[in-house]
Structure 1
Amino acid sequence: MGQQDVWRLLSRFSSLRRARVVLQHLRMSVHTEAPEVLLERRGCAGVITLNRPKVLNALSMNMIRQIYPQLKKWEQDPETFLIIIKGAGGKAFCAGGDIRVLSEAKRAKQSMTRIYFREEYTLNNAIASCQKPYVALIDGITIGGGVGVSIHGRFRVATERTLFAMPETGIGLFPDVGGGYFLPRLPGKLGYFLALTGFRLKGRDVHRAGIATHFVDSEKLPKLEEELLALKSPSAEDIAGVLESLFKQSKMDQDKSAIFEEHMDKINSCFSANSVEQIIENLRQDGSPFAIQQLKVINKMSPTSLKITLRQLMEGSSKTLPEVLTMEYRLSQACMEGHDFDEGVRAVLIDKDQSPKWNPASLKEVTNEDVNGYFKSLGSNDLKF
């Protein structure tokens, strides 16, 4: 065998070896690609970790499909006494549903937009009716779909890093995931204000608004989790006791009054009207810097979204959660047929020019007949519980 043959053999061997190393890496990356959601039994609890930190734990269909059956299993399991849900990465609990994916599916006329909302709302309802205490650690950004997998549970723990918002009127949607149920039940007209303007609440204000049941300094979260997991066959009262004790130890922003408190009279008087036009007129007449700021915000929102949202909340205020979710499913499907959702996603998430061209472009062009169309029954396609 000549020297050349030896070199050829060696180079072939090294390229084979290289190929093997590359393959091994690929195989490892397939195996190490982190699951979107972690479901673990720890101590006395079932623990759900939303695990897409790069996209702020946005809720995908795949995640919903894993969480729902596991929730049902744990609910039946005599060894599981509570369920904890949290987000990975320290930045967000969950920044909402996977809106961009939905918009793409809508444009491709895929059935996903029907299925996603149906399964998401079914999960929201399962959380609300869950027989085991459900503890949501809403540390970080908690928006839209993230509110849906937390607000309906028995306990919601905010931290100084919590940022809550329902900004859907700015993307041609409406505050869904049961927003029509919990928003009108917040103090005064606070929920109407949050729904129409997408106003952000931060930290302790999330607790003061009644969205969170407890507030804990974020550095105490590991201790909170540890104490919950160490409980032996706990009752809901035992769990509440642990939350209460850490709540009392958390001093951050304790002496600051809520950002909305000083404006509560204005919120109550301006947002108690029965039409969006009247709310705008109330704000205009009020004329305070706060009212003018809200006017500016509302004028940027989708006129259609504003009108369906106000009606959603007014109707939802006297409905049960399953009835609200049935109504919201109708609204979601009508929004998927309409113009503004795609345009909102384009302006806010894709081109990011923040200047959507709504159609209809003004409130007066959105007729009562248009609004009624959004609330029409879907017959056999209605969401039923």
Structure 2
Amino acid sequence: MDFGGGDEIRFETMGQAGVVTLTRPKALNALTGQMVHALAAALNAWEKDASVRLVLVRGEGRAFCAGGDIMDVYRAGRAGERHVEFFADEYRMNAQLARFPKPYVALIDGIVMGGGVGISAHGSHRVMTENAIVAMPEVGIGFFPDVGGSHVLSRLPGAFGMYMALTGNRVRQGDALAVGLATQTIRSESQQEFVEALTASGEVEEVLRRFHVAVPAETDAATFAAIERHFSQETLEAALASLKEEAGAGDAFASKTLATILSRSPTSLKVAWREIRRGADLSMDDCMRMEFRVLNRMLDGHDFYEGIRAVLVDKGSTPVWNPPTLDGVSDAAAEAYFAPLGDRELIL
């Protein structure tokens, strides 16, 4: 079955299901434009196909999907070009997935970050094994939580989504289940049996009940309470002040979290704070339109290219942010990222 994905993504019908397999394991299944277009085409076809009762998506190798393949975007930006259309197509596909009327089961056995969250979190079911590692690490590369991050993260309980957005910290299976990033958890060793049962019967809820194995959260109740206390503040400055106060009193969690945040792009932090707060009151489509506005300004800026240089090009080097501190990013400058684009707005 060919929806134009080449050797980067495979489509099959198995029993009652349309099955999507990301097939770039050496690149941790990072999304390309070709993969985005193919997945969108498959969803269009399978939505109308009565023989397909559900869609299952999975990844080859040790990652579900580690994000978007952004090196082309980086190289284009360094050459003075802007690859906006890759993001526009990806955002349209994310919105399409959120509207998909059939069960959409993401089987996550490994790394899922950025664009990988975009092709899993908006579906009806996120099934994670003990190997799952979830993160939205964009502020660490001078970017922002996109692909519908404003919609997903803003709706997690206890301000956990804001914590994820501002730290970029990784979340394991138990915490993902506790906050709703995962809808079910299964053992990695049962994946093949799970896929066979799901595709054969098409009875999603019954099969999930049979394979689900409850797991405890990795984070204790006191730390969850601390996350809510710090990250539900009314402003970014108040959240940082709260962390600083407890760090000064010797609290290890506050100290480590504060240090992590202060290493991130100041511009990204101020934009991400606003994005997540606003996303809570927006529909998925409106979140994507808002994120596209921010995306356009990020591609015109400095920190995104500097972050990619430090993390992916000169691996392990320290990025030099501009402005270098939060004090250097005015409220007006942060607000400018959200201004309308006129005739360049995202059309869904």
Does the CA-based 8 Å contact 1:158-1:204 persist in structure 2?
Answer: no
Could you say which residue in structure 2 is the equivalent of 1:220?
190
Could you say which residue in structure 2 is the equivalent of 1:317?
280
**Distance in 2 (alpha carbons) for counterparts of 1:105 and 1:150:** 28
Does the CA-based 8 Å contact 1:208-1:258 persist in structure 2?
Answer: no
Could you say which residue in structure 2 is the equivalent of 1:64?
36
Q: Aligned pair 1:101/2:64, yes or no?
A: no
More divergent stretch after superposition (151-160 vs 201-210): 201-210
- Once the two structures are TM-superposed, the CA of residue 260 in structure 1 deviates from its matched residue by 5.3
- Once the two structures are TM-superposed, the CA of residue 276 in structure 1 deviates from its matched residue by 2.0
Does the CA-based 8 Å contact 1:277-1:363 persist in structure 2?
Answer: no
Task: Give unmatched runs, 5+ long, in structure 2.
Answer: 1-5
**Distance in 1 (alpha carbons) for counterparts of 2:303 and 2:137:** 14
Q: What SS does the corresponding residue of 1:98 show, helix, strand or coil?
A: coil
Matches within 5 A, 1:106-255: 106-111=77-82, 113-231=83-201, 234=202, 238-247=203-212, 250=213, 254=215
Q: What SS does the corresponding residue of 1:80 show, helix, strand or coil?
A: coil
Matched AA of 1:110: E
- Once the two structures are TM-superposed, the CA of residue 99 in structure 1 deviates from its matched residue by 2.0
Matched AA of 1:358: W
**Distance in 1 (alpha carbons) for counterparts of 2:96 and 2:76:** 26
Could you say which residue in structure 2 is the equivalent of 1:297?
260
In the TM superposition, structure 1's runs of 4+ consecutive aligned residues that sit over 4 Å from their partners are: none
**Distance in 1 (alpha carbons) for counterparts of 2:220 and 2:56:** 29
- Specify which of 197, 200, 222 is matched with residue 262 of structure 1: 222
- Specify which of 331, 337, 348 is matched with residue 368 of structure 1: 331
Does the CA-based 8 Å contact 2:174-2:217 persist in structure 1?
Answer: no
**Distance in 2 (alpha carbons) for counterparts of 1:357 and 1:174:** 17
Deviations 1:82-128 (CA, angstroms, capped at 9, x unpaired): 11100012x000000012221112222334x2101100011111111
Matched AA of 1:278: A
Matched AA of 1:374: Y
Matches within 5 A, 1:73-84: 73-84=45-56
* Change in CA separation of 1:162 and 1:334 when aligned onto 2, cut-off 3 Å: same
- Specify which of 23, 36, 44 is matched with residue 51 of structure 1: 23
Does the CA-based 8 Å contact 2:309-2:315 persist in structure 1?
Answer: yes
Task: Give unmatched runs, 5+ long, in structure 1.
Answer: 1-33
Does the CA-based 8 Å contact 2:178-2:217 persist in structure 1?
Answer: no
Q: What SS does the corresponding residue of 2:130 show, helix, strand or coil?
A: coil
- Once the two structures are TM-superposed, the CA of residue 206 in structure 1 deviates from its matched residue by 1.6
**Distance in 1 (alpha carbons) for counterparts of 2:236 and 2:265:** 12
Q: What SS does the corresponding residue of 1:110 show, helix, strand or coil?
A: coil
Q: Aligned pair 1:271/2:234, yes or no?
A: no
Deviations 1:177-232 (CA, angstroms, capped at 9, x unpaired): 1111111111111111011001111122221221010000011111110001111x
Could you say which residue in structure 2 is the equivalent of 1:41?
13
**Distance in 1 (alpha carbons) for counterparts of 2:140 and 2:7:** 31
Matched AA of 2:87: F
Matched AA of 1:335: M
Q: What SS does the corresponding residue of 1:96 show, helix, strand or coil?
A: coil
Could you say which residue in structure 1 is the equivalent of 2:308?
345
Matched AA of 1:154: S
- TM-score (structure 2 length as normaliser): 0.95
Deviations 1:3-27 (CA, angstroms, capped at 9, x unpaired): xxxxxxxxxxxxxxxxxxxxxxxxx
**Distance in 2 (alpha carbons) for counterparts of 1:281 and 1:212:** 31
**Distance in 2 (alpha carbons) for counterparts of 1:361 and 1:341:** 13
**Structure of greater Rg:** 1
- TM-score (structure 1 length as normaliser): 0.86
* Change in CA separation of 1:341 and 1:260 when aligned onto 2, cut-off 3 Å: farther
Could you say which residue in structure 2 is the equivalent of 1:13?
none
- Once the two structures are TM-superposed, the CA of residue 355 in structure 1 deviates from its matched residue by 0.8
Q: Aligned pair 1:379/2:339, yes or no?
A: no
- Percent of paired sites with the same residue: 41
* Change in CA separation of 1:211 and 1:374 when aligned onto 2, cut-off 3 Å: same
- Once the two structures are TM-superposed, the CA of residue 384 in structure 1 deviates from its matched residue by 2.4
Does the CA-based 8 Å contact 2:127-2:184 persist in structure 1?
Answer: yes
